[in-house]
Structure 1
Amino acid sequence: MNTASSERPPVSSLARRIHGWSWQAFPIGMGTGAVYVVLSGLHHRSQPVIVIETFFFFLNIALFTLNSTTLLLQAILYPRQALRLLKDPVKGIFVPLVVLSLATIIIGTINYAWPTGHVGSDFVYALFWVYTAFAVFTCFPMLMIWFNNPHDLSHFTPAYAFLVFPMMLVGVVAFNVLKVMDPADSRALGVLLAGYFFQGLGFFMTFIYICIYIIRFTGFLEGHQANGAFVACGPPGFTALALINLGSRAREILPKHDLISPTAGEIWFSASIMAALMLWGLAVFFFFFAALPYWFKLHKHLNEILGCWALTFPNVGWIAAMRLFGDIFKVRGFYVTHAIMAVIICLAWLILFVLTLVAFWRGLIFHSKDEDVIKDTLPEAVEEKDDDMSIYDRKPDHHHGRDISGPNMV
Structure 2
Amino acid sequence: MPLANRINGYSEKDSAPRTDERDRNENEAGRSAGVVVSLRGRLEHFTWAWFTATMSTGGLAVALAETPHRFRGLDTIGLTIFILNTTLFLLLCALMTTRLLLFPHRFKHSFHHPTESFFFGSFWLSIAVILCGTQLYGVSPTRPWLIPALRISYWIYATISLLNAIQQYWLFMRRAPAKPVPMNPAWFLPGYSAMLTGTVASIIAGSQPPEHRLPVIVSGCAFQGFGWLLSCIWIGMYVARLMESGLPPPDVRPGMFIPVGTAAYTIVALIGQARAIPPEHAYFAAHPGAAETLQTLALFVGVFLWLFSFWLFAVAVLACVAGIPEMGFTLSWWAFVFPNVGFAVATVEIGRELGSQGVLWVGSGMTVGLVVVWLFTAGACVRAVVKRRILWPGRDEDKDM
TM-score by length of 1: 0.83
Matched, 1:156 2:186: no
Give 1:197's match in structure 2, choosing from 214, 222, 229: 222
Q: Deviations over 1:302-343 (max 9, x none)?
A: 4x3311111100111221111122222222211211111111
Which residue pairs with 2:39 in the alignment?
A: 14
Report whether the alignment pairs 1:130 with 2:156: yes
1:365–1:402 Cα contact (<8 Å) kept = no
In 2, the alpha carbon distance for the partners of 1:235 and 1:97 equals: 14
For residues 398 and 100 of structure 2, the distance between their equivalents in structure 1, rounded to whole angstroms, comes to: 22
Note the alpha carbon deviations across 1:24-75, whole angstroms, 9 max, x for none: 0001111111211111112132231111101110111111111111111211
Q: Which amino acid aligns with 2:175?
A: N
Q: How does 1:174-253 map to 2 (within 5 A)?
A: 174-183=201-210, 186-216=211-241, 217-218=243-244, 219-250=246-277, 253=278
Corresponding residue for residue 127 of structure 2: 102
Residue in 1 that maps onto 2:91? 66
Structure 2 matches for 1:204-353, cutoff 5 A?
Answer: 204-216=229-241, 217-218=243-244, 219-250=246-277, 253-259=278-284, 261-298=287-324, 300-302=326-328, 304-353=329-378
Give the CA RMSD over aligned residues: 2.3
- Name the counterpart of 1:50: 75
Identity of aligned residues (%): 24
Unaligned runs of at least 5 residues, structure 1: 1-9, 369-396
Deviation of 1:84 (Å) = 1.7
Shift of residue 206, structure 1, vs aligned partner: 1.1
Pick closer, same or farther for the CA change 1:121–1:65 going to 2, 3 Å: same
Q: Does 1:41 align with 2:66?
A: yes
Change (3 A) 1:82 1:402: closer
Change (3 A) 1:300 1:179: farther
- Residues 133, 296 of structure 1: CA spacing in aligned structure 2 closer, same or farther, 3 A cutoff? same
Cα deviations across residues 97-127 of structure 1 (Å, max 9, x unaligned)?
1110001111111111112634431111111
Looking at structure 1, the residues matched to 321 and 400 of structure 2 have their Cα atoms a distance apart, in angstroms, of 21
Deviation at 1:301, TM superposition (A): 4.8
**1:299: Cα distance to partner?**
6.4
1:96 alignment partner, SS class:
helix
SS state at 2:258 partner: helix
Pair 363,293 (structure 1): closer, same or farther in 2 beyond 3 Å = closer
Instruction: Give the counterpart of 1:170 among 197, 201, 204.
Output: 197
SS at match of 2:223: helix
Residue aligned with 1:94, SS: helix
Give the residue type in structure 2 aligned to 1:338.
Answer: G
The equivalent of 1:377 in structure 2 is none
Structure with greater contact order relative to length (CA < 8 Å, sep ≥ 6): 2
Aligned length, in residue pairs: 362
Contact preservation (8 Å) 1:27, 1:309: yes
Q: Deviations over 1:260-307 (max 9, x none)?
A: 5111111111111111111111111110111123121356454x3311
CA shift digits 1:202-229 (9 cap, x unpaired) = 1100111001112222323332331221
AA of the residue aligned to 2:228: F
Do the aligned partners of residues 362 and 222 (structure 1) sit closer, same or farther apart at CA in structure 2, a change above 3 Å counting? Answer: closer
Which runs of 5 or more structure 2 residues have no equivalent in the other structure? 1-34
- State the 1:13 CA deviation: 2.5
Is 1:84 aligned to 2:84, yes or no?
A: no
TM-score (norm 2): 0.84
Note closer, same or farther for the CA distance 1:263–1:360 as it changes in structure 2 (3 Å cut). Answer: same
Letter in 1 for 2:356: V
